[in-house]
Each structure stands twice: as structure tokens, then as C-alpha cells.
A and B are shown apart, each in its own frame.
Chain A
């Protein structure tokens, strides 16, 4: 091989550092002006860009709309129906979270029909699901004067795996003096988080976060049908046997506390969970170079759970197992510390 050829193949690294001849600076294409759509919400005229949802159009006017299954970072599934609004010309109410604005729409967000449906949805949920760790839902219940006790006291809890094995198209006759619920034993099958499906309102958020909207892991999906519909792994196998990668993004989006850090669950069981005594510290995860924002929830100078802000440009609320759960090294678990102290005292 002639030496020239050998030389020409070689480009010293430093050459890349030399200024490259410049052409015109590329410009981002100008944003094509979105056509504005005019519509009326609660008697007030407004104009919003095409593609806006009724939810956002209403928010623009300062009108609050309750939502449960909606989250900015997820594809709207419009299943909870608590955001329904009245649309003139529509036979049924429409979900504000996913219905796009159309010219000339006449929308009412606080009509008696709207209030009744919202109230009923909240009653349906609160009479069938344990909403004790869902403060947002409880606030809506106050606002809409929901009375879940109208349907009778809660019925008996299902024993282990009964709901997991429900057969589509068949159900037992209802108990006469009580309202059926989804109460069932808590699923504790790993050290990092628990699944308490007695608290599940089936908002599909965890399924979306586990699937195409964030993690693409597909460890959980909705199984079964009707009132027996449930979030499940295949054949309801425990999480360690499933595709779960313990990113905890499902916990991050769960609105009712059905998915909960093991640390929070244990502290609640022990009666030591005290949100009033907790502080949040924002920091950056130090495990890798991505730079995920972490919100450390601290109680008694110990990390009790880790979230990531939904608004974070980097994470959009999502983390991986390391950021979410890899903080134990920061602190000696209290029990061990106590034992160590006891040991020290004993040896003295």
C-alpha cells in the first residue's frame, strides 16, 4: 500500500476542532399560525388554537374541571368521566379532557346535568373503592356533595385471588344489604412497592406509564371485564416474575395511593407516616449523566419516598429503578440503627 494512501485515511483528532466553514445559520421553521377557534363556555366567549381540548379552553377562562384519569404526560383515556361537560347539540355529555374544540361550540361546565354525573361518578368510585389515600378525589366529593353511603354499607372483602380469577360474563348475585366493593388483600411481592387494588379506580394511568406513554415495559395491563376489570400481570403472577423493571413510574402517576412505596406503606401501617412533618428536597440524581430531577420526600431526616416533578424537562415525572429506589445507601434503615444502638448499649 503506498504511504500516501495510508496518510490520507488518517485524520488527526485535532482537525475536528478547527473552525468548520460556515454557511447560513439554519433557522427553525416559523410556527405556522394555528387557526383560532371561537367557542362559548359558560356563556363566556373565548378563542383558542385549533386542537385545544375543552379542558384547557376552560382552564384558560379560569374554570376548574375535576379530572382523575387525566395527566398532561399521558394520552387521555377519558374513562373516569368526572370531567364531563354539557355540549349543546350532543345527546350525551362529553369528556372535557379529550374533546377538541370546534367552532361555535356552546359548552356548559356547571349545569345540573354535569353536576349530577360528576356527583354520581364520585359516589360510584367512593362506594366501591377505598379512597382514604386519595385527597384529590375526597376534595371533589365535598365539592359535588357526593354521598356514597346512599348505596348501603360496603360489602365483604374478596378473599385472596378471588378477583384475580373472576370469570368474564358471570357474577354472584349481589349481597342484599351492602354495596359491592373491590376490597381485596394488598399485593406485597417485592421490597420496593406494594399494590393495594382495594384503592384502584382503574384510571389506566399506571398501564399507560408502564406501556407506550413512558416505560415501554408492558408489565401490567387491564384484565377481566366489567366490575371485575382489574390491573394485572399475565396470569396475575407476582411482580418479580413479570416484566416489571421497578422504575416506579406507575407509582408516580397513581392518583389514589393504590401503588405505594413500601417505605410509605410500612410507615402508614406502623402509624408513623406524617405528611405534615415531611419536607421535599429537589436534587439531581447522581447515578448517571442524564440528570434526572428528584424530589426527595424527607421525614425525620430520612428519605421516605422519591418522586420526580411532572414539569421536569428531563424526566416528565419518570425515573428508573436507581433514581426511584436506590437511596437506601443514604441512610441506615431506622430498625438497623436501633438494633446497632441496642447492640452498642448491650456491649457496654
Chain B
């Protein structure tokens, strides 16, 4: 392929950033002195270079982290090294919120203003930020820092949350929660190199049940050193893998089918069906992907699992890979989770060092290794086919299904995609057998479930309960309603979920029971709002979220999310076109079209919470705020 590049050239730092991912170029032709501009025929071109397209996202990360933005020269160099047309690379770079293709200060504060933080001081924090640092996105001419609003950062148990990214030779990403203006200012000032001890110590609060004998998925939280493989093994770690390798792949798949385990990422698809399909595929290679791009507002369970028990995720992925014949696993980790990234990276390295990953796992003739890929600020990349495109170096646009990932997935090969929580369930299934697992919970919803409690609840955090526990029991487990104590609404399942009223708390938390009332467990979000919260503002934030996160590929979602947000603004401001009933009818029609005609789950659920609030809470009939 002939590449046509503009005349912009990279500087030395930009070249080093790209080379840090791709190694130094083999040919001297691509170097500082010989960078070919204009009609460039990259000497590194050919199949070998093009086969590296999947490194585009890591390369863009490297440039962003080193420089703070992706310049035309840097993009040209990346394109030349990878033989990617610059316009396509630009399309990828402009897809992600954590990348900038315009000059930007190297130090950036991302302050969460999403619904959980909104109920807990985000508004005040953002106002203080604006006062001290100017309007979001603005930066003084010579300033080296800026800030802007961020969608949910997944630290909802410790609101308000912020993240500071600092580009440079030693780049840093620092998650701060709970955070005040002074701490953000301090972190901005010392470029993110704050003592992280405070972060680790506060994470204890993420699992209020920690230490309880009843826990299964969370039983090791606080009982092991998450950075130490020996500690994990001492607590029973890697016995499940041993058992699985003894059983053999076919039996493991049978146990997963027998367990009736349903996916915990939101879609509740039977895991066994996926495992069977991939295991019986005739193509090689196949891929195993752990979807850790948890971005649903109000969801933080996968983050906590990866932070507190990272070896469990590695072990479970290994079992999945071995059982389905996948030699390579990817973990697609949300870009906003620095501690999870650190601990997963360490866990994978230690496991590899101990022969638990590699060409022969635990001495068996089973090859399996794991590579981490970081997201870059795009909710849509949690959609499995968008995730494939993201890993492959394309825009994170979902693909049409069928074909399904188990037939045509990553790099066009059969692919098994499971969420973090789904995967760690497999450890107990391997140890106890599928039937024992299926005995927990209810007939159709087996096992235990992690719920993310946030908002106006006394002890927010990740809770593990068997399916069938009622919403009321779960809330009282978390200490009951906080705030002013008068519950107004519960958001179940996340921004793509459903609002429930205080009259619906007897609802058993199972996939089947929620379905009968038109709700969903989604990703396990249980967010409480007391009656001081202006629910109309919450809905406006949700509508803005979906508009921001739509990939823009299909018309129903691209324009529907805009029209939905406009309609809500008109309803809130009481500036309707025609009657309120008329506008609500239109809102429902917009929702129907998005649900019916969008390509993927984002568009199909973008109206779900909003429509549920409008219908159940009669928000625009003067009966509530």
C-alpha cells in the first residue's frame, strides 16, 4: 500500500514513544534524518508491517502518554511504521476520549460528574474546579494543566471521584476517590506522582463484607496480598486450574454448561453455550477475551475484583482458554483503572514466571498466555464486537451480528468473550462441579451475584449475595438508605437499566424476576437516590452520557440519543413543542426506534432508564421534582 503522508514530521520524543511499542525500526530509512514526508513509501511496509495494525491503539497510548497529545507528525510516524493510512489512524485517534489530536496541556484532571458522584458532591467539586482552574477544557496559554468533566470513573463507592493523567517521560494515571479540590490541585501540581498509599488504604472500604465466611467470589478480599502469587496460592489459589487440567477440556465445558452460569456483564447470556461453541469450533487460532472494560455508570465490581484478587482473574482466564482450546487470551482493561492495570500486569508476570502461563501451563501440554490491552475512554468498547475492532486497531464500532463472536470474532477467528465476574465464577465451578454451583441461587439464576451499591446508601461498596435476595435485603445489608433517609428511587442495572420506586423493593434479584417487571440486573448497579435529588437532572445526565458515548455508526443511536436529550431538556425547562403528553409520546417513539433498529446494545438500551423513570415516577406530571 502506498501511504500518502502530510509533510509533518515527528520530533525525537514522539519517535521514541512510537518505537517503545514497536521496537526501533529495522531499516535506517525510517529515522530522524530520513523520515520521508510527502509521497512516502515506507520501507517497513508489506504484510509484516500491516499485520501489526493491532498495535495502533498501544502506539497511540504511548504518544498520548509521552507528549500529552497526538500531533500530525507523530501520527505520520505511527502510520509509516504500521502502514496504516493516516486518515484511518486519525479516525481511530478521534474516537477515544482519552486521546487528543489538538495541543493539550500534559497534566489533565478528569472530574467525574456522573450520576453517582452527582448525588455526592460532584457539582460542588466541579464548581470549585472552575473557580480555581477556569472553565473545563480551557487552559492558560503557558499553563501545563487543564481539567474537564468525565463520565463515571467506576469509583462510585467513594464519591466524588477524579482521575489525573500526566504525560511525560514517566507518565502517570492517578485515580482519586474520595477527592476534594485541594487533593486534585496537589496531584496536578506534582504531576500525579502523589504517594499512592492513601489510595490503597481506602480501597478496603470497597468490600464492606470482606472477611465474611459466606463470601464465595470475594472470599479472598483482604485476606491475601493481591501482589503476591504465593499469598494467593496459600488461600487455595490455582487449585481450580489443577482440577480443570485433570478433568480435561470437554469435562470442564460440561461443568460450565451444568452450572447454568449466565453472563454477568449485562446481557445474561449462558456462558456454557459460548464455551461449547468455541470449544467445538474447527478453526485455529481461537481467542479468549476477558472483558474488563467496565464503564456502565455505577459499576465498579470488576475493578474491585481485579484490584483485590487479580490472580483469580488470571486463573479463571487460563481455565477458559484451556477448556476451549484458545492459546491466547486478551484482557481488555478500562483505561481509567490504573490500580487494576498495575495489579493485573503484576499478576500476569508472576503467573508467567511460575509456569502458570506460557507454552505449557502447569507442565501440561496446554499453551496459554495473556496480553493486556487498555481502553482509551470509550464506553462502547465494552460491547464485544466493538472491543474486537478496538483491539484490531480500528474504530470501536460494533459489528452486525450474526455472525456471532464464537464463530467470527477477534481477527475473524472464533472468540470466547466473558466478563471479569462471569469468569471468576468458573473457579468454583471447576472445584465443586456445575451441579453444586447450580444449587446456589434460584432455578434460573444460579450462583451468587456481585452488586455495586452507591448513591444514598449507608455503606456503599461491592456486595455478594445469592440470587433471589430481595432488593430490600440487599439495601439493608448495606446499612439502609442514607442521605436524608427518604428513598426516592433506585437505579437497577446502570444507565442502561431501570429506575424502581420505593414500592418495588420486595423484588427478588434474579434475572427472571426482574424481567417480569420490565427491569434488568444489568451489570449489578444498585444506586439509591433520596428525595432531595432532582431526578430530572439525573435523567439529563444519563441522556448526555448516551449521546457522548454513542459511536455514531447507526442513525437510530447517533441521532436518537441527541433527540432524546433535547426532548428531556424541553420537558425539564417546560418549553415543550405541543403538549407534555405529546412530547412524552415522541420520547417513547424515539426510544422504540433506538431499541428496535440500533446495531448494538448501547442504542438498544439508551432509552431504558429514562423511559422507566418517566413512566414509573411520573416525572413530568407535577407529582415529583
Residues of chain A having any CB pair with chain B under 8 Å: 78-82, 84, 92-93, 95, 98-100, 113, 116-117, 120-121, 124-125, 127-128, 150-152, 165, 167-171, 173-174, 176-177, 179-180, 201-202, 211, 216, 218-229, 232-235, 237, 241-243
Contacts and interface: CB of A to CB of B under 8 A. Distances in A.
Given A121-B597, A202-B552, 18 more contacts: A79-B553, A80-B555, A81-B597, A81-B598, A84-B596, A116-B596, A117-B592, A117-B593, A167-B100, A168-B96, A169-B378, A169-B549, A223-B91, A223-B95, A224-B94, A225-B94, A229-B552, A235-B6
B377 interface: yes
A150 B586 contact: yes
For the side of the interface on B, what is the size category? 35 or more
Given A120-B589, A234-B90, A226 B558 contact: yes
A93, A218, A228, A237 pick with most chain B CB within 10 angstroms: A218
A216 B1 contact: yes
A147 to B, nearest CB: 10
A81 B85 contact: no
A176 B570 contact: yes
Contact of B551 (A93, A223, A229): A229
B595 interface: yes
30 contacts: A78-B400, A92-B597, A99-B402, A116-B596, A117-B556, A117-B592, A121-B556, A124-B556, A124-B559, A124-B563, A124-B593, A152-B566, A167-B97, A168-B378, A169-B377, A169-B549, A170-B148, A171-B544, A202-B552, A220-B87, A223-B91, A225-B550, A225-B551, A226-B550, A227-B562, A229-B553, A229-B558, A232-B90, A234-B75, A243-B86
A154 to B, nearest CB: 12
Contacts, number: 198
Contacts of A98: 400
Contact of B561 (A78, A169, A222, A226): A226
Contacts of A218: 1, 85, 87-88
Contact of B560 (A113, A120, A237, A243): A120
B569 A226 contact: no
Contact of A117 (B3, B596, B599): B596
B90 A92 contact: no
A81 B94 contact: no
Given A168-B95, A226-B551, A235 B72 contact: yes
Nearest to A150: B586
Interface in B100-141: 100-102, 137
Given A124-B563, A127-B563, A227-B550, A170 B149 contact: yes
A215 B1 CA distance: 12
Nearest to A241: B6
B604 interface: yes
B18 to A, nearest CB: 16
B334 interface: no
A117 B390 CA distance: 29
Contacts of B560: 120, 124
Interface in B368-408: 377-378, 395, 400, 402
A192 B607 CA distance: 44
Contacts of B137: 167, 170
A221 B551 contact: no
Given A151-B566, A169-B97, A243 B4 contact: yes
B227 interface: no
Nearest to B86: A234
